[in-house]
Amino acid sequence: MSAFIHNFLNIDVMYRSRIILLMGLKNTVLLALASLVFASLLGLFLAVLRELRNRPLNLLIIAYVDLFRALPTIVLFMIVYYMTPYFSMNPPIFWSAVITLSLNGAAYFEEIFRAGIESISKGQTEASRSLGLTYWQTMRHVILPQAVRVVLPPATSNSLELVKTTVLASVISMPELMYKAQQAYGLMANPTPLITAALIFLVMLWPFVRLTSYLERRMG
C-alpha cells in the first residue's frame, strides 16, 4: 500500500508540481471557455440558417455537420494545425486548438439547437409572420426564447463533453492540464501529477455532471 501511495498519491510530488499544473489548468479553462463561446454561437447561427429551408444552403450545412461529427477530433487537431500554414495562416497553438474545438463542437450544437427550434409549433412562426415580424425577429423574440427549455439539458451535456475534449489538444503540444501533467511526470519520474490532473478534472466537472442530470429531470 505504501508503494501505491508513493507512486500515485505522493503529497510531496503533488506540492512540487502545483505550479506547472496550475499553468495547465489556466490554459485548459481559457481554451474551454473560448471554444464553448465560438462553438455555441456558430452552432446556433447554422441552426437558424437551416430553418430558412434553402436547399443548397441546407445541403452545405448538413455536409458540414456530418463531416465534423464523423471526423475524430484528434485527427481534426492535426489537420487544422498542420494545414493552416499552407493557406498563409499560422495561428498560435492556442488558437489552432480553439478553431478545432469550435468547428467540432458547432456541429453538435447545431443539431441540438435545430431540434429545439423544430420543437416549437410552426403555428407560432406563421402567427408571428402574419403580425409583420421578419424571420430574424421571429427567431429572436418568439422561437429561440421558447427553445431554451428544450436545448438547455443537451447543450449542457455537450458543453461538458467539449471541455473533456480539450485534453486532446496535447497532440499539437497545447500546454493544457494533461500536457503539463505529463511534463511534470517526466520531470519527477512519478505518475502522481497525472492522478492529480485527473482529480482536478473530477472536481471541476462533477458539478456540471450533476447540473446536467438536474436539468434533464427538471426540463425533460
Domain range for 113 is: 2-219
Q: What is the domain-level CATH number for residue 197?
A: 1.10.3720.10
pTM, 2 dp: 0.91
Overall number of domains in the chain: 1
What confidence tens digit (pLDDT) does each residue in 27-70 have?
999 999 999 999 999 999 999 999 988 999 999 999 999 999 99
DSSP states of the chain as a string? -HHHHHHHS-HHHHHHTHHHHHHHHHHHHHHHHHHHHHHHHHHHHHHHHHTT--HHHHHHHHHHHHHHHHS-HHHHHHHHHHHGGGGT----HHHHHHHHHHHHHHHHHHHHHHHHHHTS-HHHHHHHHHTT--HHHHIIIIIHHHHHHHHHHHHHHHHHHHHHHGGGGGGGT---HHHHHHHHHHHHT-SHHHHHHHHHHHHHHHHHHHHHHHHHHHH-
Q: What is the pLDDT of residues 100-121, one digit of tens each?
A: 999 999 999 999 999 999 998 8
Average pLDDT on 165-194 reads: 93
Taking 80 as the threshold, does the pLDDT of residue 220 lie above it? no
What's the pLDDT tens digit per position in 144-160? 989 888 899 999 999 99
